[in-house]
Amino acid sequence: MSEWSVWGSCSATCGPHGYKTRTRNITRESQCGGQTCSNDLIQTSTCNRECLNGGNVTATECFCKAGWAGACCETDVKECQANLHNCDVHADCINTFGGFHCICKEGYTGDGITCLNINECNASTTCHTRATCTDNQGSYTCACDDGYTGDGQSCNDTDECSEAQDDCDISATCQNTEGSYTCICNAGYTGNGTLCQNLNECDFDMNDCDQNADCVDRPGSFTCICIDGYSGNGTVCTDINECEASPSPCHSKATCTNTDGRYRCDCNDGFTGNGRHCSDINECIETEGSAPLCPNHSSCINTHGSYHCDCDSGFKADMLGQCNDIDECLQGAQNVSVCRFNEYCVNSVGSYSCLCETGYERNGETDCTDIDECALGNQCRNNSYCKNTIGSYACLCDTGYTKSSNGTCQDINECLLPNHGCHSKATCYNLDGEYVCECNGGYKGNGTYCQNIDECLENTTDCHRDATCRDTEGFYNCICEKGYTGDGFDCTDINECEDPSNSCPAVGSECTNLPGSYSCACKQGYSWDRSQCSDINECELGIHNCQGKYVTGCKNLIGSFTCTCTASLEFNGNKCAEELPPAPTGQFNAAIGTNSQTKAPSTSTMLVLFATVGAVVFFMAIFIAIRMYKIRKKKQYTLQTEGALNPMAINGEINDDNL
């Protein structure tokens, strides 16, 4: 039997359940009959069975002291946070390990469980001498007394006057004092300062106004104002000489007389009124039975304060003051007529008349204007028009006409003129009195400017669908595309397979014509090898059908193969001495570069193919007939290209060298 091993680590660091173990090996002894003796292999012992922080351990748990918790009493209880304390509401709770303690807040006193307010105002405080202390729960406040401002610990006198905190009357003066203020009524007022009333100096003979002045009481004062007619500062008033004023108080046609404190206005001779307002006396108004003031053919003209006589229009006064007729037609200054242009003068008593000259008529009552004879109609012959002139008219030929020797207007053939204005690619057509320019065929424009029409771009050509359109000056050309032949209006496919110069290999290939092209394919039994069709050795590739009782092997042929038979038998194409098996469903057929399986066409497939080819041939014949008809119609069209042949065509064929 071996020794016990070292004790293992304890299963717990604290608490009632900690244990540890150790082991040893047991040797089977003969005295135990070859069996394991009763000695233990594992021993168990208690360990670390204790509670922390003074807790009591039992067989099942730890009983912790107050202030601790946990399986091993290892956790401090936060009585302050969990509200498990008994501190006063005016105390602060401070947590400690395993407990707590209470401290009264500032302004309170006690053991923390009971806290009482401290009355700081009974002791020494920081309040100012001009402030009042007020005790509060846990504190105190300082407030400055009335008439002072500050935070209570520092108080300054309040200037109620400058800060508008006084109740003085608006007519009083505020004077600040320490902690207060006083109100004194201003001069001209009476009262206690908070209520002031105006003192009327005018009623109590407390003024020094002049005898020619009025005393006017004002709030807190009075004013002396000189009465009308006097001037001064009110305490001394002197007479005003209104007649020296500017402007004068009297009318301009009146005389001003000054008096003590007053003045008088009198209208001048020839005027009537109150002096302030004077109006002229109209001497020209005749009274009944009185003689006229002025001679015949004259008028009395009233003036301010007088009158005068003026000869009527058309008359002039002589040395005796009589008014005689003026011959205005002879009075033109510097031989210039008194009448206007296109007028002549006719004198009359006291006046004159201006009459319109021949060819003119009066326009209302003012100027003489030219008579528009053309507006009267039928003044001129055919192909001419009437043009009014000053005092007359003229007949001018219409545009496109010229006057002949007999005075008639004849048509001008503008097309014979070198500068008729038509474009070089247009034709000029003379008309009666005018002409027109029309662009030639193959051109478009207004005639004075013509530009080539690109029929190819506008898709208005008759080119065949397998032809290319090329525009030319005034027309266009149709050129069959590569792989087709024709005049461009009708293009037919070229069968390149009929041309021995096609690129298909000469041996083992067959050519297939396509629209506008062709293709090459190796025949059956051949395959594409780079640039030629090479024979396929069916025997080596194992793609033959040589098999059967009497078949001995396969023999390759050019493009095919044959089967060999046993001695004395010959292969006749499908059997030796017995029927050969059916041919494979497909022979090796290679197009150029590819391999494909082909089947022998069935009878029905061949019938469909022949029917399709026949339909195509039928419709092609109809199409060719229609194209030939259009070509014949097309050849009847003459190109209008300045009389020159199309430079791209030679003997009716297109010259490719110029394309």
The verdict on 644 and 562 lying in the same domain is: no
- Residue 350: closest CA among 303, 315, 316, 317: 315
pLDDT in tens, 467-497: 999 999 889 999 999 999 999 999 999 998 9
User: Given a cut of 70, is residue 30 above it in pLDDT?
Assistant: no
Name the domain count of the chain: 5
Question: Would you say 447 and 435 are in contact if contact means Cβ atoms under 8 Å apart?
Answer: no
403 exposure class (CB count in 10 Å sphere: 0-12, 13-18, 19+): middle
Residue 228 included in any domain: yes
pLDDT in tens, 182-195: 999 998 888 898 99
The verdict on 509 and 572 lying in the same domain is: yes
Amino acid 302: pLDDT = 87
CATH code: domain of residue 462: 2.10.25
Amino acid 174: pLDDT = 93
The verdict on 384 and 235 lying in the same domain is: no
Residue 560 included in any domain: yes
Amino acid 480: pLDDT = 94
Residue 528 included in any domain: yes
Amino acid 35: pLDDT = 57
The verdict on 505 and 581 lying in the same domain is: yes
Nearest 5°: the CA angle 52, 55, 58 is 110
Cα distance between residue 385 and residue 167, in whole Å = 107
Cα distance between residue 88 and residue 289, in whole Å = 135
pLDDT in tens, 92-142: 999 988 888 999 998 898 998 999 988 888 877 888 888 889 888 888 899
pLDDT in tens, 368-425: 888 888 888 887 888 888 888 888 888 899 888 988 888 888 888 889 888 888 998 9
* Alpha carbon 20 to chain centroid, angstroms: 88
Cα distance between residue 428 and residue 412, in whole Å = 13
Strand order in the sheet with 587-591: 509-514, 517-524, 587-591, 596-598
Amino acid 487: pLDDT = 93
DSSP for 184-238, written as a single string = EEPTTEEESSSSEEE--TTTTT-----TTEEEEEETTEEEEEEPTTEEESSSSEE
Residue 221 included in any domain: yes
Largest CA distance in the chain: 203
pLDDT band at 635 (very low <50, low <70, confident <90, very high): very low
The verdict on 395 and 456 lying in the same domain is: no
The verdict on 504 and 596 lying in the same domain is: yes
The verdict on 503 and 488 lying in the same domain is: no
The backbone torsions φ and ψ at residue 109, rounded to the nearest 5 degrees and listed phi first, read -135, 150
The verdict on 596 and 503 lying in the same domain is: yes
Range of the domain at 462: 426-494+620-658
pLDDT band at 168 (very low <50, low <70, confident <90, very high): very high
Contacts of residue 226, Cβ cutoff 8 Å, sequence gap at least 6: 210, 212, 213, 232, 234, 237
CATH code: domain of residue 403: 2.10.25.10
Question: Would you say 430 and 413 are in contact if contact means Cβ atoms under 8 Å apart?
Answer: yes
Mean pLDDT (the chain) is 81
pLDDT band at 644 (very low <50, low <70, confident <90, very high): very low
DSSP for 41-74, written as a single string = SEEEEE-----STTPEE-SS-EEPPTTEESTTS-
The verdict on 587 and 526 lying in the same domain is: yes
Question: Would you say 333 and 348 are in contact if contact means Cβ atoms under 8 Å apart?
Answer: no
For the chain, the straight-line distance linking the first and the last C-alpha, in angstroms and rounded, comes to 121
Question: Would you say 232 and 226 are in contact if contact means Cβ atoms under 8 Å apart?
Answer: yes
Pick the last residue of a domain from 61, 76, 91.
Answer: 76
Bridge partners for 492 per DSSP: 485
Global pTM value: 0.29
The verdict on 513 and 548 lying in the same domain is: yes
Residue 628 included in any domain: yes
pLDDT in tens, 268-322: 888 889 989 998 888 788 778 788 888 888 888 888 888 888 998 889 988 888 8
- Residue 130: closest CA among 160, 158, 155: 155
Residue 482 included in any domain: yes
The verdict on 626 and 490 lying in the same domain is: yes
The verdict on 505 and 596 lying in the same domain is: yes
- Residue 236: closest CA among 218, 244, 224: 224
Q: What percent of the chain has pLDDT over 70?
A: 86
The backbone torsions φ and ψ at residue 417, rounded to the nearest 5 degrees and listed phi first, read -85, 145
Cα distance between residue 54 and residue 76, in whole Å = 12
Residue 461 included in any domain: yes
pLDDT in tens, 561-610: 888 888 778 777 667 765 444 444 433 333 333 333 333 344 444 565 67
Residue 31 included in any domain: yes
Q: Find the mean pLDDT for residues 511-528.
A: 89
